[in-house]
Amino acid sequence: MQIKVKKLLEKQGYRIIGKHTAIKICLWCKKAIRNENTCYKHKFYGIKSWRCIQMSPAFLNCLHRCQFCWRYLDYTLAKDVEKPDDPNTIIDGCINAQREILQGFLGNKKIGKKRFYEAMNPKHFALSLAGDACMYPKLPQFIDEIHKRKMTTFLVTNGTKPEMLKKLLKHKPTQLYITLPAPNKKIYKKICKPTIKDGWERLMESLNLMKNFNRPTIRLTLAKELNMCNVKDYANIIKDLNFKFLECKAAMPVGYARHRITYEQMPTHKELRTFTTKLAELLKLKIIDEKEESRVFLLSKKDSADRKLFK
């Protein structure tokens, strides 16, 4: 990683671990430690926001350059991580960096001391910060090592690496997310600007593989005048897939996304509800939860007790 890029990212609050990994303390992690609020993953799935590490083992590696991505797209590595760091080294580095950053909260009178000390011992890795974790060649071993430490994994991918998903069939994350960024190939190519010719076909292959994973989840990240359209086309893609959860979330102009989408393009919760309701009707799904502050809805065929991993 170029020194200039590293310094720029660190100035924005990212902590770089090794050659290709980054973490960043989530807003909701900070709020949760102060007993103010928690993220939608806490509400939907029982994940404790104050014990969650938001990270990526392939921070700048991606085959997409999506308009709604908050990543610094001018420095995109459209290839797998080369000479990858050891999984245990990354895990230890992420935990130590998380602890170091959060130490400052101990002097804040607003914090909940119980939550602070729990935060010092993370229980969850969200492989979702930026880039595509599936471009880290040692991802299967990485997930296994996290699980050996009695921690959970939420893996988010754009679906352009079905070959890695096949490798993960014997190393399954706790929950797999695949982002469906567009209702058809034409819009996909326009907003994702893939660096490969068969990105859409690879995504479709990945979506068909997800039935073999635990808690398979489809994510729609929606922006007006961009991809929040053609609801029937979304339904036609999704209807034959075998998944457990479907999330519809507003794209937000944060980070570098502010240079590519406007605040006017971010749907309100009410607008998102209208779109989500139409999609739910077409797919015969139910809206089983929502988080207005995060502008996100959760859909499934039916609600169930096992939705929340932790009570």
Q: Is 66 helix (H, G, I), strand (E, B) or coil?
A: coil
The one-digit pLDDT tens for each residue of the chain (311 residues) are 556 677 777 777 889 999 999 999 988 999 999 999 999 999 999 999 999 999 999 999 999 988 777 666 677 889 999 999 999 999 999 999 999 999 988 877 778 789 999 999 999 999 998 899 999 999 999 999 999 999 999 999 999 999 999 999 999 999 999 999 999 999 999 999 999 999 999 999 999 999 999 999 999 999 999 999 999 999 999 999 999 999 999 987 566 656 667 778 889 999 999 999 999 999 999 999 999 999 999 999 999 999 999 86
The answer to whether 171 and 214 have CB atoms below 8 angstroms apart is: no
Written as one string, the DSSP assignment of 92-126 is HHHHHHHHHHHGGGGG-TTS-HHHHHHHTS--EEE
270 contact partners, CB below 8 Å, separation of at least 6: none
Amino acid at 187: I
Structure tokens, 270: 């009410």
pLDDT given for residue 69 in this prediction: 73
Secondary structure (3-state) at 199? helix
Query: Which pLDDT score, from 0 to 100, does residue 265 have?
Result: 84
Residue 73: alpha-carbon gap to chain centroid: 17
Q: How far apart are CA 283 and CA 209, in angstroms?
A: 19
Alpha-carbon gap, residue 78 to 18, rounded angstroms: 19
C-alpha separations of 288 from 43, 198, 216, 285 in Å: 11, 35, 16, 9
Residue 9 CA to residue 12 CA, distance in Å, equals 5
Is the CB of residue 20 less than 8 Å from the CB of residue 85?
yes
* Separation of CA 247 from chain center: 11
Show Cβ contacts of residue 288 under 8 Å, excluding neighbours closer than 6 positions: 298, 299, 300, 302, 303, 307
How far is the C-alpha of 259 from the C-alpha of 253, rounded, in Å?
Answer: 8
CA separation for the pair 249, 217 (Å, rounded): 13
Boundaries of every domain in the chain: 3-307
Rounded to two decimals, the pTM is 0.93
Architecture of domain 3-307: Alpha-Beta Barrel (3.20)
**Per-residue model confidence (pLDDT) at position 264:** 87
Type of residue found at 300: S
Tokens describing residue 36: 């103010």
